[in-house]
Chains A and B, each alone.
Chain A
Amino acid sequence: AQKVTQAQTEISVVEKEDVTLDCVYETRDTTYYLFWYKQPPSGELVFLIRRNSFDEQNEISGRYSWNFQKSTSSFNFTITASQVVDSAVYFCALSYQGGKLIFGQGTELSVKP
């Protein structure tokens, strides 16, 4: 069965610190996709990134970067020079049986000024 574990329930940092959010997944599928979503205090879900299981290249988008390591079944998310606006709950998700997603429990990030 598929599973996504985000072991960090809450993280608190001071503005401008770097922070890494961990995501570990379990699947027997050979082809799958991994996602990160952001849920700010307003409650909506914002798509951040999609990664195919065959593409292990790290990705950088501005202050955000993602490290996908198939060998350790991890897809970690790093925010560089965090800002107060980064405060949100971040979810990692794994695809299964086509387009369905299973979500981790989320990591609540609090960035203090």
Chain B
Amino acid sequence: NAGVTQTPKFRILKIGQSMTLQCTQDMNHNYMYWYRQDPGMGLKLIYYSVGAGITDKGEVPNGYNVSRSTTEDFPLRLELAAPSQTSVYFCASSYSLLRAGEVDEQYFGPGTRLTVT
């Protein structure tokens, strides 16, 4: 079980470039999430998905897009990169809610450190 994997680990982008951060999980989790972590701060939710074909915005979605065509993959797309998107990006997944209101722990990938200059 590899858990949650993310690629790349590091990336430097120029302002205005685009890129896709990849995230894959092999635990058959229905729920997947993208967070960003700015220096000295906690994690903020960008987008999340409750299953293939279903995505929704989190706290800070502007400048990002996601898709979820399979249970395993949840790529995050950055269009027209800006310096404000310099951050560490974490992908996470969790088991589907077993009962209404049940919230399971999220399993995190190792992160992608992105710099936009």
A binds B: yes
A interface residues, Cβ below 8 angstroms from B? 4, 9, 31-33, 35, 37, 43-45, 47, 50, 91, 93, 95, 98-106
- State the main secondary structure of chain A at its contact with B: strand
Question: Are B90 and A99 within 8 A (Cβ)?
Answer: no
Residues of B within 8 A of A (CB): 31, 33, 40-45, 48, 50, 58-59, 88, 90, 92, 94, 97, 101, 103-108, 110-111
Known: A47-B107, A99-B31, A99-B50. A31 touches B45 (CB 8 A): no
* 30 A-B pairs with C-beta separation under 8 A: A32-B103, A37-B108, A43-B111, A44-B108, A45-B43, A45-B92, A45-B108, A47-B105, A47-B106, A47-B107, A50-B103, A50-B104, A50-B105, A95-B103, A98-B103, A99-B31, A99-B97, A99-B103, A99-B104, A99-B106, A100-B33, A100-B45, A100-B58, A101-B33, A101-B43, A102-B45, A103-B42, A103-B44, A105-B42, A106-B41
Total A-B pairs, Cβ < 8 A: 59
Find out whether the CB atom of A91 lies under 8 angstroms from the CB atom of B42: yes
